[in-house]
């Protein structure tokens, strides 16, 4: 039994939310995520842990987001947000997993005892947690379990209702920086819309109004947020929003949204007829933290994914630094990629001699490394990313006295970019405004943007396997360590294709592995991907019912 004197209601409320038998939870790259019907006990326990986290941080507010992002509507998930809007500290992910898997009340309280002792937590310290959810029907019941968890540990909760993941991260950061020199803004959704739109207006001053932007909202919470943001941006930027049905939950992410567009490499069925030749559109995911663009080129679909967004941002920000009169030896752009980054994008940065790092998949890895650069740009190819301005760079931008109109304009635009870009987390709406502003400044249409480099044709394949945990990787997930000899057999295939590259890694959010393949020609890339997928099925004994015929 616990030696710590926990609140009297803890045991009673814990027993109200028993853990499902014979199921193991794991705090992955995006927190806990699985079928929503299994998560009641997890939400309760996450509420308790978030309360302890706030107490450990001397009462700073932490956040909880209930979402499963691009997953089907029957799934749900939860993640804890640290005080500056960043992901939960890695050591506490271990605590989260241990608490979620405690089989009974006694062991759960025993784990809590260990955490309190290890972290020297004062249980009398006040604690505050702000939480929100996306539009999934399971979210409301999960919020009730979360509230029980907060009550059980004596934490004060603030319910933001239904909102996007990036808005929740933004609010957490605003609350914790209020009254400091790092004050991030007004801690509300309205404050978020106003901050982004005000900065966008500065960036596009004197620029012509672009055509309406087609936005695929994935039938998710991003549709509601875009509707509010549009009111702040009218008439300088207008939208043609599609897939905005948030009432019919079965439509969430169904044949639409950023993950569908990126994976299938085609627009949603009801989007293509809205895009004229040479015009652009974009797609959000279910919780609006991912963004990909696309356009029609002589009738054909063309994708502008996270790699292309990062390239566009790197050019524009580098130009502004050079025009601003800032010290380019100390203030420069660094780019962080994962193994999913297209090989041509990597060569693009190498040619321009930009600082470049490759890290394992997951925003927590990208964000951490991007913070090391004066200005760090990170985007996963799936469209999840942002730009981080370090505090010394922000100080230099605000303290610099311009000596010419060019310098004054560049500094003004750098300030506006830093305000408009959500520096707490990847944010589809913020990134969308960044792209629109840069395209306006550079007088680029989607064709010119796409021409920054010629992307190698690539294919992403999801493979259902009996046990994804047997897949272990190294070299930023670019090489397999286990199953043994599978990497060598994959190499035998990829070496047969010009500029062939492929890797496989276990998903951090779903019960599957993901295979990425690229080479110089589309038909060769598809052939290589299907051969590799078949090899993996043969190696690990994948369920025949889930094996597409092209993998045979």
Return d(Cα 159, Cα 247) in angstroms, integer. Answer: 21
Q: Assess whether 69 carries a catalytic annotation.
A: yes
Tokens of 98: 């241990």
Phi-psi sector, 345: left (phi>0), alpha (psi -120 to 50), beta? alpha
Q: Which helix H or strand E contains 409, and what residues bound it?
A: helix 405-420
Across the strands, what pairs with 252? none
Strands in 501-506's sheet, in edge-to-edge order, are 458-463, 513-518, 501-506
Strands in 156-162's sheet, in edge-to-edge order, are 32-35, 75-81, 61-66, 128-133, 156-162
HSE toward the beta carbon, residue 480, CA cutoff 13 A:
24
- Give Cα 402 distance to the centre of its chain: 36
Q: Catalytic pick from 41, 54, 69, 430? A: 69
Cα dihedral 251→254→259→263 (10° resolution): -170
Tokens of 35: 């079928």
Helix/strand/coil for 292: strand
Cβ within 8 Å of residue 260, ≥6 positions away: 218, 253, 268, 283
Cβ within 8 Å of residue 128, ≥6 positions away: 54, 59, 60, 61, 62, 155, 156, 157, 158, 175
458-463 and 385-389 beta bridge pairing: unpaired
Helix/strand/coil for 256: coil
Q: Which positions are annotated as active-site residues?
A: 69
């Amino acid at each position: 039994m616990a030696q710590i004197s926990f609140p009297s209601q803890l045991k009673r409320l814990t027993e109200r939310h028993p853990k499902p038998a014979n199921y193991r939870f794991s705090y992955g790259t995006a927190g806990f995520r699985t079928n929503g019907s299994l998560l009641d006990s997890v939400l309760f326990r996450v509420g308790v842990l978030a309360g302890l986290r706030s107490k450990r941080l001397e009462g700073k507010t932490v956040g909880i987001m209930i979402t499963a992002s691009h997953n089907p509507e029957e799934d749900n998930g939860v993640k804890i947000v640290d005080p500056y809007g960043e992901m939960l500290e890695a050591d506490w992910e271990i605590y989260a997993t241990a608490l979620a898997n405690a089989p009974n009340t006694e062991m759960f309280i025993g784990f809590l005892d260990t955490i309190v002792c290890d972290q020297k937590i004062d249980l009398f310290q006040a604690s505050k947690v702000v939480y929100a959810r996306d539009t999934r029907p399971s979210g409301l019941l999960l919020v009730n379990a979360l509230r029980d968890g907060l009550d059980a540990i004596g934490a004060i909760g603030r319910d933001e209702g239904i909102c996007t993941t990036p808005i929740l991260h933004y609010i957490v950061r605003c609350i914790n920086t209020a009254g400091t020199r790092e004050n991030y803004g007004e801690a509300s959704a309205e404050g978020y819309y106003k901050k982004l739109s005000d900065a966008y207006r500065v960036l596009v001053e004197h620029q012509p109004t672009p055509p309406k932007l087609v936005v695929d909202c994935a039938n998710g919470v991003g549709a509601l947020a875009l509707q509010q943001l549009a009111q702040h941006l009218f008439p300088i930027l207008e939208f043609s929003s599609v897939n905005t049905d948030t009432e019919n939950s079965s439509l969430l992410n169904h044949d639409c949204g950023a993950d569908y567009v990126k994976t299938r490499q085609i627009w949603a069925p009801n989007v293509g007829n809205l895009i004229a030749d040479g015009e652009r559109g974009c797609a959000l995911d279910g919780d609006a933290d991912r963004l990909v663009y696309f356009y029609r080129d002589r009738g054909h679909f063309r994708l502008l994914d996270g790699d292309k967004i990062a390239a566009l941002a790197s050019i524009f920000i580098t130009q502004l630094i050079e025009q601003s009169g800032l010290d380019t030896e100390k203030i420069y752009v660094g780019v962080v990629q994962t193994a999913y980054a297209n090989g041509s994008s990597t060569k693009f940065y190498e040619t321009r001699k930009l600082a470049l790092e490759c890290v394992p998949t997951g925003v927590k890895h990208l964000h951490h490394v991007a913070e090391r650069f004066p200005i760090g740009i990170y985007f996963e190819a799936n469209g999840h990313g942002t730009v981080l301005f370090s505090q010394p760079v922000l100080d230099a931008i605000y303290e610099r006295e311009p000596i010419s109109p060019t310098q004054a304009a560049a500094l003004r635009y750098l300030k506006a970019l830093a305000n408009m870009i959500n520096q707490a987390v990847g944010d589809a709406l913020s990134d969308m405004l960044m792209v629109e502003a840069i395209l306006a400044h550079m007088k680029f249409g989607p064709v010119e943007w796409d021409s920054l480099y010629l992307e190698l044709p690539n294919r992403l394949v999801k493979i259902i396997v009996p046990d994804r945990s047997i897949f272990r990787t190294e070299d930023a997930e670019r090489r397999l360590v286990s199953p043994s000899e599978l990497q060598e057999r994959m190499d035998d295939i990829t070496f047969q294709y010009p500029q062939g590259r492929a890797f496989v890694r276990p998903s951090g959010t779903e019960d599957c592995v993901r295979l990425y393949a690229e080479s110089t020609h589309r038909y060769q890339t598809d052939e290589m991907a299907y051969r590799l997928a078949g090899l993996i099925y043969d190696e690990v004994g994948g369920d025949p019912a889930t094996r597409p015929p092209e993998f045979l």
